[in-house]
């Protein structure tokens, strides 16, 4: 009787890209920024999509990408726009420093590079707002340069292939090494997009469709039945709770007071409903001291909750009525209520508006 010997599990670095590329050719996602088979990628579209997709889902980005492309079809067109217009169009996507960097990068490429993006990782890293990941993604996808592209989907695929016990984020350097070893010299852009698609559609966080995966024979986690436990993640630190107040004041003609936030810092350059500082030791008893105008302020029922990367926020909303003749303070301005949706209001401010208008 022959002894049954389990087949050796190959290391991901030794995997050939053929299986993945064959799978990608059959199952690639149709995305508005992605070139069709045989089509040359547009570096502007690739760059714009990669900036938008940072910390944001494909589903959320789709309509924003189409709107940006319609309004600013080229990098030169974006460079000629005002930052305020970019911020208004970006409102709701979050991580607003990306919008300011987007505009700064467009201006740099248009003014200094004749509207052409560099075609190497090193050249792309010199542009405003472009870090290691974005430079690798644009170089690979737009210019077919061999570069290791690692997003959250790719991290999941690789940690399962390797059954990598090191938790994130400590595992990131090792993951990058593995992806670099797997990335082929031929069709590196398609390989990068194939890995992303594999993680997004097959190697999903829960209930991955392992039977459909081109890497099934090589996956250590699948072999051990532990695929859903990867990637390992270090325990998240508890996010502190900060509190604050916002002040909703409306004139009889339906104009509401707004203010532009400082250009630097959280939500920099965005429009806000005038607000207090946000702090863990915020004293609600003195909230009206932060009001932009003297008025008969009344606290509205309920509060607005919002999560930021490093803290949770709870905002109480105060409302008041202003006279038609009330002048806006130096750092504020009046906006028609029916035009408020067109302002560069971040999501937390839209929540404040919703609470105020619903009361």
Positions of E strands within the chain? 241-250, 255-260, 271-272, 298-299, 304-307, 312-321, 332-336
Q: Which of 50, 155, 272, 343 is catalytic?
A: 50
Q: CB–CB of 79/106 below 8 Å?
A: yes
Clarify whether 162 is annotated catalytic: no
291 C-beta neighbours (distance < 10 Å), count: 18
Classify the C-alpha dihedral 335-338-344-346 as positive or negative. positive
Closest to 106 measured CA to CA, from 129, 87, 137, 134: 129
* 73/67 Cα distance (integer angstroms): 10
Closest to 306 measured CA to CA, from 287, 282, 278, 332: 278
1 C-beta neighbours (distance < 10 Å), count: 3
Phi, psi of 23 (to 5 degrees): -65, -45
What are the distances in angstroms from CA 155 to CA 69, 130, 146, 247? 30, 20, 18, 43
250 C-beta neighbours (distance < 10 Å), count: 17
Closest to 260 measured CA to CA, from 48, 51, 14, 96: 96
Could you give the residue numbers annotated as active site? Answer: 50
């Amino acid at each position: 009787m022959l002894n049954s010997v389990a087949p050796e599990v190959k290391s991901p670095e030794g995997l050939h890209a053929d299986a993945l590329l064959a799978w990608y050719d059959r199952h690639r996602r149709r995305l508005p920024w992605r070139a069709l088979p045989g089509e040359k990628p547009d570096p502007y579209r690739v760059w714009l999509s990669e900036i938008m997709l940072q910390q944001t889902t494909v589903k959320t980005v789709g309509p924003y990408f189409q709107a940006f492309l319609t309004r600013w079809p080229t990098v030169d067109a974006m460079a000629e726009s005002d930052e305020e217009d970019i911020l208004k169009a970006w409102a709701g996507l979050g991580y607003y420093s990306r919008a300011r960097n987007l505009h700064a990068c467009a201006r740099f490429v248009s003014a200094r590079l004749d509207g052409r993006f560099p075609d190497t990782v090193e050249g792309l890293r010199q542009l405003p707002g472009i870090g290691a990941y974005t430079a690798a993604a644009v170089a690979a996808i737009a210019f077919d340069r061999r570069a290791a592209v690692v997003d959250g989907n790719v991290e999941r695929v690789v940690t399962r292939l390797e059954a990598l016990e090191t938790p994130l984020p400590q595992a990131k350097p090792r993951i990058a090494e593995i992806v670099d070893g797997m990335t082929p010299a031929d069709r590196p852009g398609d390989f990068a997009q194939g890995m992303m698609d594999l993680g997004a559609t097959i190697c999903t966080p829960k209930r991955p469709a392992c039977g459909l995966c081109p890497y099934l024979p090589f996956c250590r986690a699948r072999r051990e039945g532990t695929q859903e436990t990867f990637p390992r993640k270090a325990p998240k630190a508890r996010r502190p709770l900060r509190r604050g107040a916002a002040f909703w004041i409306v004139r009889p003609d339906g104009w509401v007071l707004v203010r532009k936030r400082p250009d630097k810092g959280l939500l920099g350059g965005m429009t806000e409903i005038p607000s207090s500082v946000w702090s863990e030791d915020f004293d609600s008893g003195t909230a009206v001291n932060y009001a932009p105008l003297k008025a008969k302020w009344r606290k509205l029922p309920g509060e607005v909750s919002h999560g930021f990367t490093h803290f949770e926020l709870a905002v109480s909303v105060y409302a008041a009525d202003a006279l038609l003749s009330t002048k806006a303070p130096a750092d504020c301005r009046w906006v028609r209520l029916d035009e408020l949706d067109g302002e560069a209001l971040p999501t937390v401010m839209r929540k404040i508006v919703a609470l105020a208008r619903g009361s």
